[in-house]
Amino acid sequence: MRYNIQAQTVLALETSCDDSAAAVVRREEGQIQVIASNIASQDGMHAKWGGVVPEMASRQHLEALPFLVRQTLEESDLEITSLDAVAATVAPGLAGSLMIGSITARSLAALHQLPFLGVHHLEGHLASVFLSPDRPSPPYLVLLVSGGHTELISVNSFSDFNRLGRSHDDAAGEAFDKVARLLGLPYPGGPSIEKASEIGDPDKFSFPKGRVSRPEGGFYPYDFSFSGLKTAVLRQVEKLNKDREALPINDLAASFQKVVVDVLVERTIRCAIDKDLTSVVLVGGVAANKLLREVMTKRANDNGVNLFLAPKAFCTDNAAMIGAAALIRLESKLRSSSLELGIKPRMPLAEAGLLYQFPPPF
């Protein structure tokens, strides 16, 4: 199916993990505007398990998505027939969750004879910065830091990505969740640790800044490892419990958060300088963290680096960022995705262009 390359308005769905989301986004005079955006959170349901239960997440998507689509279209004051395309996240993510969003979007596209765009979830996060009026021009460096991903990505164009650094174990968001559970704080861990840290002493405990060894010796300069930090917090908690001391939860949270932020900022700014990239973009769920935004802003200013922040409202998983990515793809592609395109739980960002090939890659 060919589509109008002047397409302006997209209905987007995001169901890669545990939040169901729908949005209508529009490109007008070069700006991407969010016309309507809604999210049905599953945090309360998964909280007692301390993390996402995939099968439960899929069932909730199935229940929530039809109402979200209807609500979002009503709020946008648009009929679905007036849209230019329908988009959905198809990779990576939880297989069952991805399937619900993909099938819903493809069904709507087929029923109303609209183009369908399958979007890579990480490409959506990269596009979230374009929901801000202050937008970067390539080339630039992105720190994508979320529950499932911690990566440094150079962007030469919106279809030309190069990963320069990554986490070799837990992503930063996963570390927040696991340490929060260790400290008895509610799920999700990021907001809980951030809140507890507000009255904690970040210098009370000294935790390690994990590094990743090269096989030939030395360390990868831009890579991350948070499992050692998580273990260090565990050992400190065990020691305090053994000594029958009350856990200073606020101090532990603040000390942990400080190390995570320092590591993320130090390696991002170092990478930008080494690669001669004068602009840095911060996106992903952890990008909503207040301390991270403050420290990154200061270090960027100190080093003459331009910083661009995704709006806080669009840092965590949302459909507006998927719509933004779809609109950017609509500008440069002659074809939509195939209605036969499936889903893929694991897929590197570098392969995102395959989602628009005919026949589809999966």
102-122 pLDDT, tens digit per residue, is 999 999 999 999 999 999 999
Label the pairing between strands 160-166 and 150-157: antiparallel
Domain ranges in the chain with CATH number 3.30.420.40: 9-128+315-356, 137-309
Q: What does the pLDDT look like over 182-200, one tens digit per residue?
A: 999 999 999 999 999 999 9
Average pLDDT score over residue span 252-277: 98
Cα distance between residue 71 and residue 38, in whole Å: 8
Strands (E), 225-353: 279-283, 306-309
Q: What does the pLDDT look like over 299-337, one tens digit per residue?
A: 999 999 999 999 999 999 999 999 999 999 998 765 799
Q: CA geometry: angle at 134 spanning 174 and 326, to 5°?
A: 65
**% pLDDT > 90, the chain:** 86
Query: Among 168, 83, 105, 172, which residue's Cα sits nearest to residue 322?
Result: 105
Q: What is the pLDDT of residue 333?
A: 62
Per the prediction, the chain carries an average pLDDT of: 94
Homologous superfamily (CATH) for 137-309 = ATPase, nucleotide binding domain (3.30.420.40)
Query: Among 23, 83, 109, 3, which residue's Cα sits nearest to residue 321?
Result: 23
Under 8 Å between Cβ of 236 and 208: no
Segment among 95-99, 175-179, 329-333 with least mean pLDDT: 329-333
Indicate the Cα dihedral angle 199, 314, 179, 347, nearest 10°.
-160
Q: What does the pLDDT look like over 14-47, one tens digit per residue?
A: 999 989 999 999 998 778 999 999 999 887 677 7
Q: What is the pTM of this model?
A: 0.94
Token pair of 361 as six digits: 């890659």
Query: Among 348, 347, 337, 362, which residue's Cα sits nearest to residue 105?
Result: 337
Domain spanning 9-128+315-356, CATH architecture: 2-Layer Sandwich (3.30)
Q: What is the pLDDT of residue 261?
A: 98
Residue 289 neighbours by CB under 8 Å, 6+ apart: 190, 194, 257, 261
Q: What is the pLDDT of residue 2?
A: 38
Residue 235 neighbours by CB under 8 Å, 6+ apart: none
